[in-house]
Amino acid sequence: MNRLAATALAVCFGVSACKGSTPEDPSKKSARGVANAVAAAPVTVDGSSTVALITEAVAEEFQKANPGKKVTMGVSGTGGGFKKFCGGELSISGASRPIKPAEVELCGKNGIEYVELPVAYDGLTIVVHAQNDWATSITVAELKKMWAPEAQGTVKKWSDVRPGWPDQEIHLFGAGVDSGTYDYFTAAVVGKEHSSRGDYTSSEDDNVLVKGVSTDKLALGFFGYAYYIENKDKLKLVPVDDEKAENGAGPIEPSLETVANGTYQPLSRPIFIYVGKTQLERPEVSAFVTFYLANAPTLSAEVGYIPLTPTGYALATERYTKRTYGSVFGGQGSSVGVSVELLLGAPPAAPVSAAMAPSGPPASAP
């Protein structure tokens, strides 16, 4: 199935809720009905469209390994997901940047404690139409010139960005303001979260952005690496030059290697799931998260993202097992150019390069 096109996945949880039962005393039947309703409650997931690709893959395999269990998914962007999660509406929220101070405050107000779990790395990808023959590379400074708030009304044409580029309108496509991708991109490129021009086509659904760029010869857009990989036959990737020698010379493309070794900067980032403390008391949620962490190395690579190192996954699993609540980022939102492994406690000498995804069938939840 095309995991990128799907926005929801639901499978039945609880054999007793799916099968018929023999007649019984009405009072017992009523009590049993309540118990079955609780047992049948799904694992509810929402949030980032970026993380949804991994979560959907995990949920699909979880279903195969655990017939009868139910996971329901929505995609409302990282910010939209945190609003629901901190309001007590979700089991799990996917996030393409760390939780922000206002979201920490909202969770605290509602008594929601959480475990923050990194699940993979992503490289935000700059793309243009497949027939674009001039944008063969771009600098971070040019991206800022194009996307900064002051660009609105002044940077209207490709030639406004770089002399020699066409004297034609530039049509921009990017993540919506509820998206963690928007937060991270603006922090990394403009220098401040939620700071950009407003006259661009926005969406929290990356499939909408893919369609927009792939059908407009004058377009430029950005979204997660997996969406480019899935659609690379109809898009053109634009290498990015941060003009910093320590990150490698010249324009660099996002790839498993460049994201993992930290040379694709400043657009490499970790992505996460957040799990509620009280939700982890539910066996089905705990089983799903255990399954998620065990299979993230394989499935994140399968859908086009870059796995953490084995050390990274071991530390994330330890954080989950010990129920370490809160954020290693201090609840400050997007952090550009960080190593999750080091933040989680790996020694500085530990290699920060992605392990190749292991082969074989998905690991099972206990």
Distance between CA 299 and CA 192 in Å, rounded? 32
Q: How many other CB atoms sit within 10 Å of the CB of residue 37?
A: 11
Q: Give me the pLDDT at residue 19, please.
A: 34
Give the mean pLDDT of 140-152.
Answer: 98
Residue 41: pLDDT band (50, 70, 90) is confident
Residue 345: pLDDT band (50, 70, 90) is low
Three-class DSSP category at 259: helix
Give the mean pLDDT of 213-234.
Answer: 96
Q: Which residue would you say has higher pLDDT here, 19 or 210?
A: 210
pLDDT beyond 90 at 216: yes
Task: Say which range, 50-59, 139-148, 261-270, 294-303, has the weakest mean pLDDT.
Answer: 261-270
Q: Give me the pLDDT at residue 246, please.
A: 78
pLDDT digits (tens, 9 = 90+) for 262-302: 899 999 999 999 999 999 999 999 999 999 999 999 999 99
Distance between CA 53 and CA 271 in Å, rounded? 11
pLDDT digits (tens, 9 = 90+) for 151-167: 999 999 999 999 999 99
pLDDT beyond 90 at 360: no
pLDDT beyond 60 at 312: yes
Mean pLDDT of the chain: 84
Residue 68: pLDDT band (50, 70, 90) is confident
The phi and psi torsions of 268 (rounded to 5 degrees) equal -90, 140
Q: Give me 339's structure tokens.
A: 């190593």
What the chain holds in terms of domains, given with CATH numbers, is 15-120+270-344 (3.40.190.10), 125-253 (3.40.190.10)
pLDDT beyond 90 at 113: yes
Decide the pairing of beta strands 171-175 and 219-223: parallel
Residue 352: pLDDT band (50, 70, 90) is very low
pLDDT digits (tens, 9 = 90+) for 245-257: 877 889 999 998 9
Give the DSSP per-residue string, 116-167: EEEEEEEE-EEEEETT--S-S-EEHHHHHHHHSGGGTTT--BHHHHSBTB-S
23: left (phi over 0), alpha (psi -120 to 50) or beta: beta
Q: What is the share, in percent, of the chain residues with pLDDT greater than 90? A: 69
Q: Which residue would you say has higher pLDDT here, 295 or 259?
A: 295
pLDDT beyond 50 at 353: no
Give the mean pLDDT of 171-190.
Answer: 93
Give the mean pLDDT of 68-89.
Answer: 94
Residue 339: pLDDT band (50, 70, 90) is low
Q: Give me 58's structure tokens.
A: 């995990």
pLDDT beyond 60 at 10: no
Q: Which residue would you say has higher pLDDT here, 1 or 40?
A: 40
Distance between the two ends of the chain, CA-based, in angstroms?
27
Give the mean pLDDT of 27-35.
Answer: 44
